[in-house]
Amino acid sequence: MKRACSFLLALALAGPASAQAGGPWFGADLSFVNEMEDCGAVYRENGARRDPYEIFKDHGANLVRIRIWNDADWTRYSNLADVKKSIRRARALGMQVLLDFHYSDTWADGDKQIIPKAWAGIKDQAVLDEALYRFTFDTLTALDADGLMPELVQVGNETNHEILGEADWGARPINWDRNASLLNAGIKAVRDAGAKSAIKPRVMLHIAQPENVEPWFEAAVKAGVTDFDQIGVSYYGKWSKYSIVGLGEVIKRLTKSYPKADVILVETAYPWTLGYKDELGNVLGEDSLIEGYPATPDGQSRYMTDVTRAVMENGGMGVVYWEPAWVSTNCKTPWGRGSSWENATFFDFNRRNALLPAIDFMRPSPAAGPTKP
């Protein structure tokens, strides 16, 4: 009961972003929303069309996560102009922003970290450090000039492998002299941009899947990467060997090992159905399911409630859902027409994108938590 009360207190303290000096943070990655709306997507609650940012704010969100690529010439989204639009939408509702630098022209994730084409020919370490520093600093300075400095900044996305790498680098050991130099250049850029701003962004480093987080941070700190404020973790049943309980145990150890850092589950998701609406297959299929949590609206909701409880009761400082608004439309993606995530959104495509109950993970009840080891 004591832990449940502490969990509810943390939720109660998560007020409007404008009134907060810090967390806990609850929210969603809404990087796809501008594109989905341009493609004709409509989001509904209680039968009425609503702005998705307003929906999330009304259901407890105080943080919006937004990604940015370097020069993604295959899309007109997740660039500086699109990021500005997204931050304005979040700020208009009093929500904080987590800006996620991928440091790539495409998706950077736990399997690949591909160097932007503009930097691919750079061999000199100092020159490459300066390129990463300048891109980070200039982006944040441009945002600040428009009153859009984010409160939190990720220096890299799921950087399990060496950043600014090539497609086949995931199979080789990390060169920590190079990796630390690049990460520290990004961190310094955030600090320097923040020094000129009324908002001093917190620095997050982000690793995919809980089993990878502790060894990565041990190696990073040993290599001299120490100036970070937050540890971001991704957790998906499809790619992790850990249960929800195991996730909580990792978070508990991280909070003890790095007492000055906030630990945030910055990515997670779960399917509410194994069905689909369009020609694209679903990324999260049956292989993503955890025992006791079926692919139903109730199963998705209970998963999110129990994951959030596991994070908060073990000292974590928040939970962010990945892309709950990436619904199916007639627009094309690099993989085909539609969405490969519509079964893991918070909107039911069988009911004209009606809101699903999992969105209330940001203000759940203290009912039974995870029991599976």
Q: Which residues are catalytic?
A: 158, 267
Cα–Cα dist 277/237, whole Å: 23
Cβ-Cβ contacts under 8 Å for 186 (sequence gap 6 or more)? 101, 103, 132, 133, 136, 155, 156
For 30, the token pair is: 């809404």
Cβ-contact 30, 342 below 8 angstroms: no
Cα–Cα dist 134/128, whole Å: 10
Q: What does the DSSP 8-state code read for residue 286?
A: G
Q: What does the DSSP 8-state code read for residue 287?
A: G
Q: What does the DSSP 8-state code read for residue 78?
A: S
Task: Reduce the DSSP state of residue 288 to 3 states and report it.
Answer: helix
Quote the Cα angle for 204-205-211, to 5°.
130
For 321, the token pair is: 């859902």
What is the Rg, in whole angstroms, of the alpha carbon atoms belonging to the chain?
19
Chain centre distance of CA 258: 20
Tokens 């502490």 correspond to 6
